[in-house]
Structure 1
Amino acid sequence: MQNQSARGILYLCFGVFIFSLQDAIIKQVSGGYALTEVVFLRSCVGLPILLVLVQREAGWRALFAAGLLPLALRALIMFGAYTAYYMAFPALPLADAVALYFTVPLFITALAGPVLGEHIGWKVWAAVVLGFAGVLVMLQPGTGLFNPAALLSLISAALYGCAMLMARKMGTRLPTSVMAFYQNGFFLLGAALAAAVLHQLGIEHATHPSVAFLVRPWTVPTVTDGALIGVCGVVAAVGTMFLTAAYRVARSSTVTPFEYTGILWAPLWGYLFFSEIPKFTTFVGAAVILVAGLIAMRMAQK
């Protein structure tokens, strides 16, 4: 059991680290390309990688032996989570977008009861409320500093929490690579469909940077940008495998606190690549969210 927990923690920490690199890349290209194009190209690159991983782990027949409905539902939720998450990047400093996303453990804790049947006591709920007090510190609602794009990170966190609990509920019935393959495939098809619908509706421009990132028409990327987007495909395939595996091999309450290791990378990439210096309220709010999340996870284990 301890070995399983240790493996889950290592899987999650590594997955969070490599996904943090993807965050920086997508923010870099968010000003000139459509989100649907970035996700589509990323998924195309990830597809053959995941096929190889499926063959090595379970054989290609496992793709057809899996229950399609739960996989499709989880993939749909993940598509919505990542779409909302990436849309926040053009409008927010990287550290802010990622820090708000760290409410994921709070959502997982709150949803563990109805989804997994885990008992959630009043102390855990108190920690969840404390965490969202930290969110309010960061958002500063009612002031001129509030950016509606911040809500996208919170929506993403809620959806991602649901998807990870679904992965845990599926347990060992499905190989990790199969779950990751269907998620990648849904991202590819979903991005293409969304782009086609937006094109047919003639929606190609928006004033808000988050919406503009979603509706912008596709263009041929430069060699450099194309290579960066291709790297995202590798990161997405490998990162999805590690994150999904983490929640499959260990209890959600054990591995979830290590989602917070991402807080080490976002400010660093934001400063190095975009010359962003986090606000004081970002540090305070993130600290409150961090403490609340850790308390909630600790209480949930008792």
Structure 2
Amino acid sequence: MKDYILQFVHSGVFYTIFGYFLFSLMDAIGKWLTQSYSIAEITFFSSLFSLLPVSFMLTKVPIKELLATKRPSLHLLRGVIILGLRLTALFAFSLMPLADGFALILTGPIILCIISPFLLGEKNTIAQYLAIGIGFIGVLIVLRPGFTTFNMGILGALGAATCFALNTVLMKKMSVTENKGAMLFYGMSFTILISGLMMIPSFSMPGLVDLGLFAACGLAAGFAQIFIFNALKTVPASTVGAFQYSCIVWGMIIGYLVWQTKPDIFIILGSLFIVASGITINKATKTAQTQHA
């Protein structure tokens, strides 16, 4: 039994699960901090502290490769999208429960499937179109249009989902000529620089406790990336993609423990539709890529 547990802890599946837990923890801390600090300040400090663990990963990449780029304009555009993703996600979490926010933000793969034919020239299969329909039903269940008061956080969550999809499109385009380390370096550098400038007008000096929370938020984000990166070395990308929906579960657990928020039946049912849609799209996309290989 002990050997089995040790084997699991060192497996790609564990790395994936723990990585998404850390991402969920990052967003939970960010949500807590929005009570006292601006979204820009939270983004700046969390991105700055996330550099500590990520820098160890980047040290394996030669400086020339880290700075070399043939597509500087795409790096700039991706930087804007990554910053937009972080700002809109924090805005969403500041106004709605974690589980609700994750359910809508994780419609990103559905949006990606919709825009891929236009931006990447990829053709969707019948299974993918059916999955999009299932995901749309899930979103309607979560939103309950006409039966609940509109929450501005919904726009933030859907904005974050759109940024996720656009970032994936850019990464696919850039992967042909750009080093992954360079994409990570330029993306993080842009986020730190611009969020730092944005926070100046509303800057509030954090105390030691809040500074610790900023550090925890950033370290969680940095180590999450490392765990996911290592997971991709041992398990298929489709497996890693499927486990991203565990964030909804983590959101429910953390939301209940910290804010005593209980997800209602609509959130649970809608999330199941969205999860089913995302996993189906992931598998259908992998099958289509295999057939064209």
TM-score, normalisation: structure 2: 0.83
Instruction: Report the identity percentage.
Output: 29
Aligned length, in residue pairs: 276
Query: Deviation digits for residues 27-70 of structure 1, max 9, x if unmatched?
Result: 11111111111111122223354444322x21222232133322
In the TM superposition, what are the counterparts of 1:109-148 in structure 2 within 5 Å? 109-148=113-152
1:249-287 Cα offsets, whole Å, 9 max, x none, are 998656432321222211011111111111121111111
SS of 1:76's equivalent in the other structure is helix
- Would the aligned equivalents of 1:168 and 1:252 in 2 still touch at CA under 8 Å? no
**How far apart are residue 155 of structure 1 and its match?**
1.2
CA contact 1:253–1:300 (8 Å) conserved in 2: no
Structure 1 position 72, deviation (Å): 2.2
Q: How does 1:164-243 map to 2 (within 5 A)?
A: 164-171=168-175, 173-196=177-200, 199=201, 217-241=202-226
Unaligned runs of 5+ in 2: 1-10, 288-293
1:159-205: CA deviation from partner (whole Å, max 9, x where unpaired): 11221232234337544333222222111112123234xx3xxxxxx
Which segment is superposed worse, 7-16 or 187-196? 7-16
AA aligned opposite 1:294: I
Aligned counterpart, 1:66? 69
Q: Residue 152 of structure 1 aligns with which residue?
A: 156
1:26 Cα offset (Å): 0.8
Deviations 1:187-242 (A, max 9, x none): 1112123234xx3xxxxxxxxxxxxxxxxx22111211110111222222233455
State whether residues 100 and 135 of structure 1, in contact with CA within 8 Å, keep that contact through their aligned partners in structure 2: yes
Corresponding residue of 2:43: 39
Q: Give yes or no for the alignment of 1:17 onto 2:2.
A: no
Whether contact under 8 Å (2:52, 2:219) holds in the other structure is no
Q: Output the aligned Cα RMSD.
A: 2.8
C-alpha displacement at 1:71, in angstroms? Answer: 2.1
Query: In the alignment, residue 288 of structure 1 is paired with which amino acid?
Result: F
Whether the 8 Å contact between 2:110 and 2:135 is mirrored in structure 1 is yes
Distance verdict in 2 for CA 1:256–1:79, change over 3 Å: same
**Match of 1:278?**
263
Larger mean Cα displacement after TM superposition, 237-246 or 76-85: 237-246
| One-letter amino acid of the counterpart of residue 69, structure 2 | A
- CA–CA distance in 2 between the matches of 1:270 and 1:113? 37
Q: Confirm or deny: 8 A CA contact 1:123 1:299 kept in the other structure.
A: yes
1:261 partner letter: S
Q: Mark the runs of 5 or more structure 1 residues left unpaired by the alignment.
A: 1-6, 200-216
Matched residue, 2:6: none
Length-normalised TM-score, structure 1: 0.80
* 1:86-142 CA distance string (max 9 Å, x none): 101121011111111121221222233344443202331121122111111111222
